[in-house]
Chain A
Amino acid sequence: MIEGKARSAGIFATACVSGVAAGMFGVGGGVLLVPLLGLLFAFNQHRAQGTSLVALIPPTGLLAFVAYAKAGSVSWQIGSLLIPGIFVGGILGGVLAKRIRPLRMRQVFSGVLFALGAWQTIAAWWS
């Protein structure tokens, strides 16, 4: 196991990589950070998710957001309409998560995500 400073430097570098993906694809970055913390630094699933949440509390996407806004690529109207739904839905999801086996759920989700990704790639380049 890597110790001390080297481990910290590794975590920082991993976060930078997740950040590049976050800014490039307009996502939170947690979706990459959580598995990377788990696979590279042996965090268990809960600890990886908890630690990733710390990183997502400050507006880490702020600089990226400003860059998109300057380029005119932000829809304020639709964005502000989506926020309340996500907030309420998130509470319901948190309640549901306690009743469903999380492992099976994540497996289904990764399958759906893969299909979605394949579809989007094909739609962009082969049609």
Chain B
Amino acid sequence: MPRRNSSMIVEILLLGFGVGVLVGLLGIGGGVVLVPAMVYLLRMDQHMAQGTSLLILLPPVGLGALIAYWKRGQVDLPAGILCALGMLTGAYLGSLIAIPLASRNLKGLFGCFLMFVAILLWRMTRRENGAGLLVAGERAGD
């Protein structure tokens, strides 16, 4: 079925593009959007979607963005390196927990994780709103 295949390829390319726009807009990793998109739009199994998302996140897609933040002095390098080391070990541990889980349970846990992250993001925007004056002051100081 070559025709169905090629429309599938276009669909995947467009999906990547859409996720990329969000990544650039919000400055967060694409995985949190990619995984549900692959599960629902491409009908992938939960484990397969997560493994594929990790593959996509291997190249340093955030390099250009990092340079922009670096130029404005908005990078805490020692803290960033510590975080990289912590995430490397933590992520391995996480994969060991996830792989033996039933796909259905992993899907449910992923949903809970999304809700948790959403609440954190919301709290962050509220805090930011309160600190609006401070941030404006910092910008003026640049």
Contact B58 A29 (CB under 8 A): no
Partner of B114, one of A29, A56, A73, A117: A117
Partner of A15, one of B36, B57, B75, B83: B83
Who on chain B is nearest to A82 by CB? B16
Partner of A118, one of B23, B59, B94, B111: B111
Not counting A20-B91, A27-B29, a sample of 17 additional A-B residue pairs whose C-beta atoms are within 8 angstroms of each other reads: A15-B85, A18-B83, A18-B87, A19-B91, A19-B94, A26-B52, A34-B27, A37-B79, A51-B77, A55-B87, A56-B84, A57-B66, A63-B92, A69-B51, A82-B19, A83-B56, A92-B21
Q: CA of A125 to CA of B112 in the docked complex: distance in angstroms?
A: 11
Residues in A whose Cβ lies below 8 Å from that of B51: 26, 65, 68-69, 71, 73-75
Q: How many residues of A contact B (CB 8 A)?
A: 101
Given contacts A27-B32, A31-B29, A86-B16, contact A107 B125 (CB under 8 A): yes
Contact A18 B90 (CB under 8 A): yes
Q: How many residues of B contact A (CB 8 A)?
A: 108
Which residues of A, 76-127, contact B by the 8 Å Cβ criterion?
76, 78-79, 81-97, 100, 102-103, 105-107, 109-111, 113-114, 116-125
Q: How far is the CB of B18 from chain A (nearest CB, A)?
A: 6
Partner of B111, one of A23, A46, A85, A120: A120
Contact B88 A53 (CB under 8 A): no
Q: How far is the CB of A14 from chain B (nearest CB, A)?
A: 7
Given contacts A86-B56, A96-B24, contact A68 B80 (CB under 8 A): no
Given contacts A82-B16, A85-B17, contact A17 B90 (CB under 8 A): yes
Q: Which residues of A contact B (CB under 8 A)?
A: 8, 11-39, 41, 43-47, 49-65, 67-69, 71, 73-76, 78-79, 81-97, 100, 102-103, 105-107, 109-111, 113-114, 116-125
